[in-house]
Amino acid sequence: MQEIMMASIDNPSNAVEWAMAELINRPDLMAKATEEIDRVVGKDSRLVQESDIGRLNYVKACAREAFRLHPLAPFNAPHVATQDTTVGGYFIPKGSHALLSRYGLGRNPKVWPDPLRFDPERHLENDGGVDEVALVEKELRFISFSTGRRGCVATVLGTCMTTMLLARLLQCFAWTPVGGNKTVDLSEAEDGLSLATPLMALPKTRLARHLYPVV
């Protein structure tokens, strides 16, 4: 249950907060994401639904980039080697505890050019074209939700929650920094995983009035 809670609540909320902070500092990228939403869903027709997720590739690319650059945890859960083995030229004796560095994978310059730059379009670059962007990285170039036989049991739920939350925030509001600031402070907390200062932003409605619930 704890794993489900972390995967479906903590992980998506951390990724969306970072994605929003990065996008507020890059209005050009935010405009591309909102344009995609308006094109797929229709402006002022309805709110984003789960059935739209498959066609919101740019929005999901923004979420993927947040997972890559700003992981929720520094390491994956440890695994124990059941026998002597060699991985990538490294000898791992039986009984050793092996961990994957989420932070190191996502910021590896050998895999990701200019790794500290927030660039959703790196997840759309594919010689064969992109049918559908997935939040799970099966090649383990970064870790969003674990994969494999011991993969996260809440991957589908976490993917849906992440995409829906980010898409609804972008669809319903235009966002700017608060207090007359031109940008959001992207300084990382001491653990390097969360924003040093919780995200504060100013929303402005961008849809027809009837689409907002009356509270």
pTM to 2 decimals? 0.87
Is 160 assigned to a binding site?
no
- Which tokens is 203 given? 């929303």
pLDDT in tens, the chain (215 residues): 555 555 555 778 889 999 999 999 999 999 999 999 999 999 889 999 999 999 999 999 999 999 999 988 888 778 899 999 998 898 999 999 988 888 899 999 999 999 999 999 999 976 444 568 888 888 889 887 766 666 666 677 888 999 999 999 999 999 999 988 899 999 988 876 789 999 999 999 999 999 998 76
- Which tokens is 31 given? 């405009």
**Could you give all domains of the chain from N- to C-terminal order, each with its CATH number?**
2-74+101-211 (1.10.630.10)
